[in-house]
A and B are shown apart, each in its own frame.
Chain A
Amino acid sequence: MSASTAVHSGPLVRSELTGTLALLRLAWRRDRILIPASALGLTVLSVGSAKATLDLYPTASAVEAGVAELFSNPAVTALYGPVAAMTPDALAVIKTVMLGAVGLGILAYAVVRRHTRTEEEEGRFELLGSGSVGRWAPLTAAILLSTLTVVGISLLSTIGLAGIGMDPVGSLALGVAWMVSGLFMVGVTAVAAQLTTTARGCAGISFGVLAAAYILRAMGDAATTDAGRALSWVSPLGWSIKVSAYGANRSWLLLPAAALAAALVAVAFALLERRDLGAGLLAGRPGTPRAGRLLGSPAGLSWRLNRPSVIGWTVLAVVLAGVLGNLVSSISALTTNPAVARMLQSLGGSAGTLEDIFFSTELRFAAAAATAAGISAALRMAAEERATHAEVLLAGPTSRRRFYVSHATAALLLPLWVMVLVGAVAGLVGHRLDASAPGVGALVAASLATLPAVWLIIALTLLLFGLAGRWAPFGWGLLAVAFLLGEFGALMNLPQWLIDVSPYVHVSQLPGGSFAATPSLVMTFLALLAALAGALAFRRRDVG
């Protein structure tokens, strides 16, 4: 009956898309703070740091004499990718390319997930789907909004950078570098949203893919062999670097990136056609009729609820630390250059070998990731309240203090576990490849030394929750500000007192440096104070 199929296909596709525009408007209405705020933040990040760097190093010779070598060492290359060219413009965006690509990727993920799997899981799709809304409309609206967001924010930076007098072609290439990763994550999240039945599962898959892309790129960019370098071509985040903004300016890489994103979106629609509303492709199984021994207390429940994310973070920590440990071998090749070593030491402000400096840099990033783990565990408590699960527990003989403590403990212990793992695995792998690299003991100690700063930010998130459940997500803002102040504060020539606001600035320079006891103790004390204040505030306020 090919004739009837032909007759049907036209109106059918149109009806599948019915309501897309209305949903797009709804999504925009709900994201009217998130998207403009992110656009502003990312533009200020790229343009502000570029402006400050250009003021410091206005000419190519200044760049050569200055920090070009610093930024071409493997520790930095692994984190941010290689410098595109030895020019002021290329130097001005060295950190921005990768951080912006990752940031925009996360934003794209957040927008797609918010309007697809989260809506479906919370049952709001059902409300819309029963109206005149086509089956494809929600996913289409989410993809449209996130794509517009990615392209818009990227072009905003292009315009801003060209506006402060940087090369327009290079500025366009920077925008393309960001789009490459943003579009990739639009596609990845669209697929992930079809695979799982939960928003958390969708987050796990999406972040897993993003982390894998980042790790492949880091390994490729820091590799010393051609075969190793090929790894960055496998990763879409590697493409962002290969665009080589203000260097080779390979803006044509947008074409394969767009093709990849389109293919992922096509897969997402194909999956959507094969599943029911509310269901995923990975079907749920029947569970146990009785609760296990552990599930009988608030702490047991907290463990049960956090278990999947503990497993996820454990895997991520082991893989990342293994990669870090591996990179050490490319560092040791550099120790033959005493000039580089001297410069790194003077800039880092700490003593120690190149390997030490490499690890203390990478551990700062690991600490930020561990903070994210802790914040997401702390936000679980806010989610429990929002979903009225807290109400059920607190209406029973569970005190508010026990409820709070059960989740706060998870939020503070998870980063401890993550950092110990990172230190142990990185030390184990690194020390085997390079005997002069710091061992397990030194790296675990160095990892633990980051915890006061990590705990302080998590404890402030707990305090926000204690004051009002809806304020808790601002913990992500605290993390972003603290991290960016630490990474970009000096680069953007910000006043020292402002930079000092970031807890990460006060982390001891370990391994290699000395343990800064006073700031560590002060931060730990403040963290304890904030967590306690959160508990007191939570006992006083309304729940629900």
Chain B
Amino acid sequence: MEMTNDETTPILIGTIGMSIMATFIIVFVILYRKAQFKFELERQQFKQALLAAEVEIREQTLEDVSMDLHDNIGQIASIVKMNLSIISENLSEEDHLRVTEAKVLLSKLIADIKSLTYLLDRKNYKHVSLLRLLEDDIARINRLELIDIKLENNLQSFKFNSETSIFLYRMYQEMLNNALKHSEATEALVEIYTFQGNLIFRFRDNGIGLDSFTVKPYLKHSNGKGMKNIMERCKIIGATVEVIGIRNKGTSITISLPT
């Protein structure tokens, strides 16, 4: 049966209408996906910026603490040492020995304050290599005889940018802090080397370890901020972190940074 013009016109218009509607839906879906992608990108950028700001605030706080240590506590310790030197001239032998012992302890305190001041203020080691920082710090810790730390590396000619150096150094400090506070370890090994285009930074100890799970469940169960700080710093510099712990066989924290 042939269709008249009267019948074909609405069908034609209806078909065009349906096509327009279908095109509209397809275009909307495409535009929406683009909008979602852009939104996710902006969210990630915002998170990164927030993390970087948090880290910057912490660094600033450490610098302030360093300044206070140097200006206040360090000065007070020096003044106390000077006063002890003055009064020690007219004392009995026994008292003189005690004052001398106190002066030795104060000298050690002043040296430690200076060392801590140096470590806390990032301005002091912006131009010092990461390896030099680690060597100095490991030497200081070994002198305290709390734990025996060794450093192994194959990075003689490797160049770090100062931001990465500072971040890795801070992460090392967190790992060391965790090892000293929680792991009951007697030995630790810090390894830095390159492998397949990545810089590998590993901290291993022989302490009480963890149950055998990886970093995400560890973070869930952990109340401490140390690991969270490490995770945040890794995100900022684009590194990944892996934590492996075996009960009574120690913990290994490995940071992998593409070079």
Is the A/B pair a real complex?
no
What is A's interface to B at a CB cutoff of 8 Å? none
What is B's interface to A at a CB cutoff of 8 Å? none
